[in-house]
Homo-oligomer: A and B are copies of this chain.
Amino acid sequence: MVNEIPKQSGTAFKLKKGEKLRVIDPLGQQVSDLVLFNAQDIREKISSGKTLDFEETIFITKGHYLWSNRSNKMMEITEDTNGRNDFLLAPCSPETFSIMYGHKGYHPSCFENLYTHLAPFKIQPDDIPTAFNIFMNVQVASNGQLSVDPPTSKAGDYIEFIALMDVIVGLTACSAEDSNGGSFKPIQYEIRATH
């Protein structure tokens, strides 16, 4: 069954070891932030620093693992039809919009959408780590400068993960104009047991 995350919102759910998660960009050029927690002990969670270290690349895609702060493999990426994701930048937050873009007033954000949906699992805002930013197209210039370009994902592109431990997943349809070329779109996901 394909589930839909409406634009600028999020969800959270459990995934058992061995289950597969497919995250789909139904319309193209949309970003989805993913965070992971060990379902048995939420103090173990996805770590950008550990993942970049063990995988020895900033471009995490098919064949790579998502590692935890305890140096365990949480998920493997088994498919990635787009092939470009980001694991450098924090989820967009109210401060992203107020400090970086001078936005006044309320703005939805992945950070809020993550902690709101993860609250039933006793996960608090301070616990939200740097997310794995699916489909996010961050370019690194030779002088180190970072720029956020529109995603290269086309309608129907997807990435698939297999859980290597029981995990709690937080997942969004990104709220940032910058990440998706100024358009807000839904994200779809599908959970499948492996046989």
Contact = CB atoms under 8 A, between A and B. Distances in A.
Interface in A36-70: 43-44, 47-50, 52-54, 56-59, 69-70
Contacts of A48: 48-49, 130
Interface in A61-98: 69-71, 88-91, 93, 95-96
User: Chain A interface residue count: which class?
Assistant: 35 or more
A129 B43 CA distance: 12
Contact of A52 (B44, B71, B126, B146): B146
Given A52-B88, A52-B89, A96-B53, A47 B146 contact: no
A1 interface: no
A194 interface: no
Q: Main secondary structure on chain A at its contact with chain B?
A: loop
Contacts of A71: 93, 95-96, 99
30 contacts: A43-B126, A44-B126, A47-B90, A48-B49, A48-B130, A49-B88, A49-B91, A49-B131, A50-B90, A52-B89, A52-B90, A52-B146, A53-B90, A53-B96, A53-B100, A54-B99, A54-B100, A56-B145, A56-B146, A57-B143, A57-B144, A58-B144, A58-B146, A59-B144, A69-B126, A69-B128, A71-B99, A88-B88, A140-B144, A142-B142
